[in-house]
Amino acid sequence: MGRIGAYRDGLMPPTPNALPSARPSRVIVEAVAPVVDGGAFPAKATLGELVTVLADVFADGHDRAAAALRVRQGATPWRELPMEPLGNDRFAATFVPDALGRWQYQVVGWLDHLGTWRHGMELKLEAEVDVTVDLQIGAALVAAAQAAASGADADALATLHDRLDAGDASALRRAPHHSIDDPDGRIPDHDDTAPEDHGPDELDALFWRAGIRERLAELPHPLEIEIDPVRARFSSWYEFFPRSAVAPDTAPATLADALDRLDYVAAMGFDVLYIPPVHPIGLTQRKGRNNTTTPTPDDVGSPWAIGAPEGGHTSVHPELGTADDVVTLADGCRQRGMELALDIAFQCTPDHPWVTEHPEWFAHRPDGSIQYAENPPKKYQDIYPLDFESSDWQGLWTALADVIRFWIEHGVTVFRVDNPHTKAFAFWQWCIAAIRGDHPEAIFLAEAFTRPRVMERLAKIGFNQSYTYFTWRQSSWEIRQYFDDLSQRTVDSFRPNVWPNTPDILTEQLQTGGPSMFAIRAILAATLSPAWGVYGPAFELQEHLPMRAGSEEYLDSEKYQLREWDLRRPDSLAPLLGRLNRIRREQPALQHLRTLHFHEASTPAVLCYSKTDPAGEAAPVLVVVNLDARQRQQVVVDVDLKQLGLPYDIAYDVHDHLTGATRRWHGSHNPVDLDPWAFPAHVFTVEAVR
Amino acid sequence: MGRIGAYRDGLMPPTPNALPSARPSRVIVEAVAPVVDGGAFPAKATLGELVTVLADVFADGHDRAAAALRVRQGATPWRELPMEPLGNDRFAATFVPDALGRWQYQVVGWLDHLGTWRHGMELKLEAEVDVTVDLQIGAALVAAAQAAASGADADALATLHDRLDAGDASALRRAPHHSIDDPDGRIPDHDDTAPEDHGPDELDALFWRAGIRERLAELPHPLEIEIDPVRARFSSWYEFFPRSAVAPDTAPATLADALDRLDYVAAMGFDVLYIPPVHPIGLTQRKGRNNTTTPTPDDVGSPWAIGAPEGGHTSVHPELGTADDVVTLADGCRQRGMELALDIAFQCTPDHPWVTEHPEWFAHRPDGSIQYAENPPKKYQDIYPLDFESSDWQGLWTALADVIRFWIEHGVTVFRVDNPHTKAFAFWQWCIAAIRGDHPEAIFLAEAFTRPRVMERLAKIGFNQSYTYFTWRQSSWEIRQYFDDLSQRTVDSFRPNVWPNTPDILTEQLQTGGPSMFAIRAILAATLSPAWGVYGPAFELQEHLPMRAGSEEYLDSEKYQLREWDLRRPDSLAPLLGRLNRIRREQPALQHLRTLHFHEASTPAVLCYSKTDPAGEAAPVLVVVNLDARQRQQVVVDVDLKQLGLPYDIAYDVHDHLTGATRRWHGSHNPVDLDPWAFPAHVFTVEAVR
């Protein structure tokens, strides 16, 4: 929490003995959520998502506080929603953002004199004490509200006033519970904090609307929330190298050829196609096959070695095609319900035009040479990092942002950013804000595998999605600990995009676990995280040989050479990927992270977790995964029924969307039998038997 | 966390596409602790306490960040301390405040170019790669630092430069670990986060001091911490009604008589003597014995019914004495190492002079009468609350603050504030800041038993100590949950003062639990919380009869009548209270809250917890309490050895300071036998057998 919730006079004033110049509000507004670093950074949500804003609102003494949420997009007028009490001084209201870009929200609180009075009246009437003077007090409060109201509210208050004035206490009789919420907003059903007493009725709503609001308390400044496209939260990514051939072809492929593979990708249900850099590749210090430093003339080099005499970051490798081919490919993706994602890798080979045009953008060594990339003692002489402390940092920053703008003009709105953590944070904060200011549909995925605070910072300063440690979280306790953190502590700013493999990461698990391990990791990724991806066809074809023992690099990696893939192989996992993506699309519960909850299983070899639909409409999903690719597990899972919205002692059906089978469970403890050689997991929807 | 850690340009600028006017620092400073609501309120510490400031400090890429803590009291010059890396980008430094009042601290970070270079050199030297150019790079960095340095540092840098320039890489050889910390500061030993690598040596310290600090990153504003007297954290309170007689006397007693009881209180080791209001008591609507509304002429009334023709909040009841007697009593306390605490109860009887002198300070009802206090349907016609929405709120606030200043002028610095939550928060924030600005030795204890957020708010806005829910937390899970919250979530602002009983609260546990339950509750209070208190002699004499079944009010409560106490009773618990206070004084571990840790026991009837000395010097204290006053418990406790700083598989002695007995324990699981009819608890110190 931030300076949020402080009195406006906050810290001790310079003349501490001086009285405030005006009488401060008696109401406190604090502990507002969502909030990122006290409001220093916007929170994140997506178009059409339910955004529930919470706040502590209270006053001294026995007086009741009322609260409203105000929201607006950009500079549009504020819209006001009632906040409902959840108990313990916590209030909530939910809004549904209907436009992309930066929204603001503010919580205001005031003394609810009418509500305080009514509550006291109810207690006195119940105790049958004399309320003659109290009715006069109420009549005066109602008269004041009526004088400030208009329309139907004024009429209702006038009627109420007359009844109170005539000593008619029955005017206060409480109607059955009726939400004062508006049709747009809704408190999630799964919140387990009970309201302090019976819910508000029509009279409360009238008092909320028409009560005199003196000395509003509010946050010192509105909070911000960035509304992203749905794909920033919920998306399935597929990566391939367009230059590799697909059997029966053997010749190097082009961007035009990649068009022919879109149906294959779309059929698996992916909605983002990500391709590595398409730019000219340097010759100087070019790496050979398997990352050797002795290339042969026919070695194609790494796509991340960007820059050659043919051009740099806004050029396309002549052997791949042209910038127009990128436009065509992006269009082809969109026709199939997908988006094309390009790779933004801000680094240069010694052959990049910028090296001669802008030598000041690179650091120089005492011997006059340009400083190459290194991670001591490793040296990457084929790569020059850009110097973010350059004397011409403004020129450099502008040029880099212009690269992204160039590709946006060529129909690309999704960018996978290579190693963003080796560039200045302030650059990204400026660059992403500037570009998304014009193009709020743009999505940036941070490919940073580094220390936690650095990865979290990149998310806070604007990246819409982030790569994670998922690949290295393999035991059940590692996965629980990591995803509890992702779904709770950092959920307002850091959106995980989890990958079982990448061209850089072939874990030992995949090297040795056989096809079942590929299935296990895909199921985990696709159901734990709303965003996931695979590097294919290496993934579905279970490419698993490392360059050498102990390495996570692929043998004969596509990063350094052309490959030829046979997509028709009968053992391909493409059908499983397709099924997983279909389940994800059908089940809203899987499209969110915040409701992830782990359940206990009788062995750590089995992981059990659920997700619920934040809107409370779709069925809960319960996933049970055997993490052991070698061993059948017959276990008991202990289902936290409350988390699934199930009463105790009820029967419920669990329907497995992987196999199509349904069975009936009772109570919390139920047996599960998972054979990795058959099917290593269940992805259940849960339905109570009424 | 607050706006703390944001770039200074923080939220999106008005013209988002504009570049920053100057190149921002590449270093981030964030997640600083201690911090209360992101810096909206000061944190709290006491004179001489170790204050450890933590921060995440990091840069992009592989560059290392260095950090310093700057502290100052009031407007004194900043003092700078090195911050040491704890790993995972976390840095820490510890300072010891040596003056009362408001301190500020700031964390600054910068790119540690020399450290980054040295670290790279070490890796390259280990890999035996050519470092010729690297030595030149280092020599240039050292030369730049030398040019800005002076004295011995400049000399050392000159020598280093010459060796590097001559190609002598051995100049970088790492000395054994040596702390760069200054003698004042210290990282607590118990922190279990390991540094990233071997600790800093002399050369690192030189680089820290003399490295060029360009573009310092820092928090947008310094954070504040309020340094209170030690008693604000660590104190033992004793409350008695001075007007009640002590056997063999039977006549009503006076403040002068109270002087005679100070030795009794001091002998029990208490260091704050708190007495209920000493002011004239109203006659109108005076309450009789046992809170009846039909008083007899000899009924003395409640001390909290303040105000009579003789005077109000700055007068002393003629039957108790004079304001000078308060001076004498306060002096008498101080002579015995105690402080006198007065009761501040801002409410008036209908007879209070303010009612006629300042009718505008009270709310009026439509029938012209003054609004009495009520908690519907209950009415307190003998009490008029003050109206904090008065048109003359400034006059009212000033008068109330002047009451406190009056008693400070009469030698009182400790105030127990009655029902502060029924007065405006803004009033207290102003009043306490104003008074402590002049009198930082003043201590305010909030007697608020209300909702959690309200109690926490009072602490944030300035109360130094707070009453708690301790009396109603009775089962082991309730106590664990509550004290985990107190020792972790709110520990930087909310200081609990826990009481087994008060004149208002005689729990059913004490009504029915017998003498053992009094002992159990005293042991819990005295060892769980650094501040505790009892209402005596009712406590040590185990007064336990309620006014009626189901009530927490005492029968024949001293609030409404005179009592006579026989302090010589052989079953008095005074010796136990004395022993507990002596243990608290001897064991620094018990004087702090932050290190509280619960250990497991084999039955919920037994509670086991430990505290360690934050300075790491004194012995850990391990407490085992049988919560069941009726039943002997023979159980096994599972001691978390790591928490006590004990290695596994070692023998250690546990010495019980209640009984004086010592026994030898081994490993984590050890048997305990607690008979409430003998002794219901152990208060051990723990010492490893070397």
Q: Assess whether pLDDT exceeds 90 at residue B238.
A: yes
Q: What residues of A act catalytically?
A: 418, 447
Q: Assess whether pLDDT exceeds 60 at residue B290.
A: yes
The model's confidence at residue B16, banded by pLDDT at 50, 70 and 90, is low
Chain A nearest-CA distance from B367, in A, is: 7
Please name the residues between 312 and 351 in chain B that touch chain A, using a CB distance below 8 Å: none
Q: Assess whether pLDDT exceeds 50 at residue A185.
A: no
What percent of chain A is predicted at pLDDT more than 70? 94
User: What does the pLDDT read at residue B17?
Assistant: 73
Beta strand B465-466 with B384-385 is unpaired
CATH architecture of structural domain B591-688? Sandwich (2.60)
Q: Assess whether pLDDT exceeds 90 at residue B6.
A: no
pTM of the model: 0.93
Beta strand B531-535 with B497-498 is parallel
CA distance B363 to A141: 14
Per domain, the residue ranges of chain B are 27-227, 231-586, 591-688
User: What does the pLDDT read at residue A17?
Assistant: 73
Tell me which fold the domain B231-586 belongs to: TIM Barrel (3.20.20)
User: What does the pLDDT read at residue B199?
Assistant: 67
Q: pLDDT, tens digit, for every residue of A435-476? A: 999 999 999 999 999 999 999 999 999 999 999 999 999 999
SS3 state of residue A63:
coil
Higher pLDDT, A189 or B373: B373
User: What does the pLDDT read at residue A340?
Assistant: 98
Residue of B nearest to A56 (CA): B453
CA distance B1 to A271: 36
User: What does the pLDDT read at residue A376?
Assistant: 85
Q: pLDDT, tens digit, for every residue of B538-561? A: 999 999 999 999 999 999 999 999
Listed in order, strand segments (DSSP E) in A176-259 are: 217-218, 223-228, 235-239, 245-246
Residues sharing a CB contact under 8 Å with residue B501, sequence separation 6 or more, in sequence order: B471, B507, B510, B521, B534, B535, B538, B539
Of the candidates A501, A504, A516, the one whose C-alpha atom is nearest the C-alpha of residue A547 is A504
Chain B residues with CB under 8 Å of A40 CB are: 2-6, 10-11
CA distance B35 to B42: 7
Verify whether the Cβ–Cβ distance A426 to B389 is below 8 Å.
Answer: no
- In this structure, what are the phi and psi dihedrals at residue A578, rounded to the nearest 5 degrees? -60, -40
Q: Assess whether pLDDT exceeds 60 at residue A3.
A: no
Residue of A nearest to B136 (CA): A366
User: What does the pLDDT read at residue B179?
Assistant: 45
CA distance B87 to B197: 8
Verify whether the Cβ–Cβ distance A19 to B88 is below 8 Å.
Answer: no
Length of chain A: 690
| Contact between residue B305 and residue B373 where contact means Cβ atoms under 8 Å apart | no
Please, what's the b/e burial string for A290-311 (b: 16 or more CB within 10 A of its CB; e: otherwise)?
eeeeebeeebbbbbbbbbbeeb
Q: Assess whether pLDDT exceeds 80 at residue B604.
A: yes
Given CB atoms, is B7 within the 8 Å cutoff of chain A? yes
Given CB atoms, is B119 within the 8 Å cutoff of chain A? yes
Residue of A nearest to B137 (CA): A366
DSSP B363-396: -B-TTSPBPPEEETTEEETT-EEP-TT-TTHHHH
Distances (CA, A) of A109 to A30, A63, A493, B162: 10, 12, 26, 67
- In this structure, what are the phi and psi dihedrals at residue B450, rounded to the nearest 5 degrees? -145, -155
- Specify the DSSP element, H or E, that contains A312: none
| Contact between residue B114 and residue B64 where contact means Cβ atoms under 8 Å apart | no
Verify whether the Cβ–Cβ distance B12 to A140 is below 8 Å.
Answer: no
User: What does the pLDDT read at residue B174?
Assistant: 84
User: What does the pLDDT read at residue B60?
Assistant: 95
User: What does the pLDDT read at residue B377?
Assistant: 83
The model's confidence at residue B15, banded by pLDDT at 50, 70 and 90, is low
Given CB atoms, is A19 within the 8 Å cutoff of chain B? yes
Q: pLDDT, tens digit, for every residue of A346-361? A: 999 999 999 999 999 9
User: What does the pLDDT read at residue B195?
Assistant: 39
Q: Assess whether pLDDT exceeds 50 at residue B1.
A: no
The model's confidence at residue B342, banded by pLDDT at 50, 70 and 90, is very high
Q: What average pLDDT is seen over chain B?
A: 93
Verify whether the Cβ–Cβ distance B376 to A37 is below 8 Å.
Answer: no
Q: pLDDT, tens digit, for every residue of A121-134? A: 999 999 999 999 99
User: What does the pLDDT read at residue B586?
Assistant: 98
User: What does the pLDDT read at residue A200?
Assistant: 78
Sequence letter at residue B477: W
Given CB atoms, is B467 within the 8 Å cutoff of chain A? no
Distance of CA B205 to the CA centre of its chain: 34
User: What does the pLDDT read at residue A7?
Assistant: 35
Cis peptide bond upstream of A248, omega within 30: yes
Structure tokens at A492: 């307002």
Q: What average pLDDT is seen over chain A?
A: 93
User: What does the pLDDT read at residue A16?
Assistant: 57
Higher pLDDT, A199 or A619: A619
User: What does the pLDDT read at residue B650?
Assistant: 85
Residue of B nearest to A58 (CA): B454
Give me the mean pLDDT over the A192-212 stretch. 74
Q: Assess whether pLDDT exceeds 50 at residue B170.
A: yes
The model's confidence at residue A294, banded by pLDDT at 50, 70 and 90, is very high
User: What does the pLDDT read at residue A305?
Assistant: 96
Task: Rank A282-296, A364-378, A518-532 by mean pLDDT and report only the highest.
Answer: A518-532
Of B40, B120, B365, the CB nearest to A10: B40
Verify whether the Cβ–Cβ distance B39 to A3 is below 8 Å.
Answer: yes
Q: pLDDT, tens digit, for every residue of A65-91? A: 999 999 999 889 999 999 999 999 999
The model's confidence at residue B379, banded by pLDDT at 50, 70 and 90, is confident
Verify whether the Cβ–Cβ distance A376 to B26 is below 8 Å.
Answer: no
Q: pLDDT, tens digit, for every residue of A5-33? A: 333 333 444 455 789 999 999 999 999 99
* Number of inter-chain CB pairs under 8 A, A vs B: 232
CA distance A534 to A236: 8
Q: Assess whether pLDDT exceeds 90 at residue A194.
A: no
Verify whether the Cβ–Cβ distance A388 to B26 is below 8 Å.
Answer: yes
Of A13, A133, A398, the CB nearest to B367: A133
B27-227 sits in which CATH class? mainly beta
Domains B27-227 and B231-586 equal at CATH topology level: no
Chain B nearest-CA distance from A151, in A, is: 28
DSSP A150-174: -HHHHHHHHHHHHHHHTT-GGGGPP
Sequence letter at residue A87: G
Verify whether the Cβ–Cβ distance B377 to A123 is below 8 Å.
Answer: yes
Given CB atoms, is A381 within the 8 Å cutoff of chain B? no
Verify whether the Cβ–Cβ distance A426 to B377 is below 8 Å.
Answer: no
CA distance B388 to A60: 10
Give me the mean pLDDT over the B35-57 stretch. 97
CA distance B516 to B542: 10
Of the candidates B84, B94, B97, B87, the one whose C-alpha atom is nearest the C-alpha of residue B46 is B97
